Amino acid sequence: MYGNTSVTAEEAKNLNMLQDDPEKLAIFEARIERGEKIEPGDWMPEGYRKQLIRMIEQHAHSEIVGALPEGTWITRSPGFKRKLALIAKVQDEIGHGQLLYSAAETLGKTREEMLNDLLSGKSKYSNVFNYPAKTWADVAVIGFLVDGAAIVNQLINSKGSYGPYCRALDRICFEESFHLKQGHDNFVYLATGTPQQREMLQEALNRWYRPLLHFFGPSDKTSVHSEKLMKWKIKLASNDDMRNQFLDQYVPKIYELGLTLPDENLKKNPETNKWEFSDPDWDEFYRVVNGGGPCNEERLEVRRYAEEQGRWVRQALMKPNESYVTPLA
């Protein structure tokens, strides 16, 4: 046991706790156990702070990079109403990034440092945004299924232990529910449309199936951080449980529209109540999240361009004696 806590010395080492005061740690753990929210000024173990920064920062990056695949379709949206809805959705995603960067900043990492880490490739963001949105059907699949997957994850995590992150997630989930309606409407429209529209949707679905399975992270057996995150109630369900919840909710909706998923082994095991599927190629997952996906370079290039082009605006907004820390400078 480490101090008066429930962790062993070995676990404490893994959790970066050794520099933490055991008495304070015990009080902290008891608060987590009671379901209290931890707030920015409260004492927290270094490992908790670091894990939260890592996770919230990656989430924030995912929102702003996540606006890019759909963003390329704004000028090509089929019709004015769909264009308006897509503009509003993309704008919301950027707003989510802002909320999440603010939540991460409460833990002591500046926004400039986070953006530097995104632009240099040091920090990860969600795998799904490193694939192209080739047709309008991709916009339907992203809005319905990527947003659907994000809601499964965020609703669960919004009950977590860190106040600023949970409050940001509450607001994000509220807005995501509109995105889901927009995505569902596009999805059903194409699924019940002309043979060409159905074919285009099925083709997009086939391409997104594996990235969607990857979205919830590696299996519980290989997940690196789950144990620590769940111990501190930052994450309230494991990667496999979240993936299972997603399949539970969305596979029937896809099948009821007469569409298929490209995996002959995908089925729910009635005994375990869990979905089984073919190996989704975890090598591809690691390649994509480590910078080797089809669009990683393009996504970061666009972000670097936006950073560069917006610099004069940020500088103009600074007070005369303030200086803006230039990312990558």
List interacting residues with ligand FAQ (CB under 6 A): 54-55, 58-59, 62-63, 66-67, 93, 124, 126-127, 142, 146-147, 150, 153, 157, 214-218, 223-226, 229, 235, 239, 289
Report in angstroms how near the CB of residue 246 gets to ligand FAQ at its nearest.
11
DSSP state of 42: S
Report in angstroms how near the CB of residue 186 gets to ligand FAQ at its nearest.
13
- 52 in Cβ contact with 106 (< 8 Å): no
Type of residue numbered 177: S
Alpha-carbon distance of 58 to 63, in angstroms, equals 9
Reduce the DSSP state of residue 195 to 3 states and report it: helix
- Given the complex with ligand FAQ, which of 200 and 235 has the nearer CB atom? 235
- Given the complex with ligand FAQ, which of 174 and 316 has the nearer CB atom? 174
Reduce the DSSP state of residue 17 to 3 states and report it: coil
**Which residue has its beta carbon closest to ligand FAQ?**
66
DSSP state of 120: T
- Given the complex with ligand FAQ, which of 27 and 178 has the nearer CB atom? 178
Report in angstroms how near the CB of residue 35 gets to ligand FAQ at its nearest.
19
Type of residue numbered 286: Y
- 93 in Cβ contact with 63 (< 8 Å): yes
- Given the complex with ligand FAQ, which of 282 and 305 has the nearer CB atom? 282
Report in angstroms how near the CB of residue 101 gets to ligand FAQ at its nearest.
13
Report in angstroms how near the CB of residue 4 gets to ligand FAQ at its nearest.
27
- Given the complex with ligand FAQ, which of 45 and 214 has the nearer CB atom? 214
- 316 in Cβ contact with 137 (< 8 Å): no
Alpha-carbon distance of 157 to 145, in angstroms, equals 18
Residue 10 in tokens: 């070995």
- Given the complex with ligand FAQ, which of 206 and 223 has the nearer CB atom? 223
Residue 272 has φ and ψ, to the nearest 5°, of -90, -15
Report in angstroms how near the CB of residue 31 gets to ligand FAQ at its nearest.
22
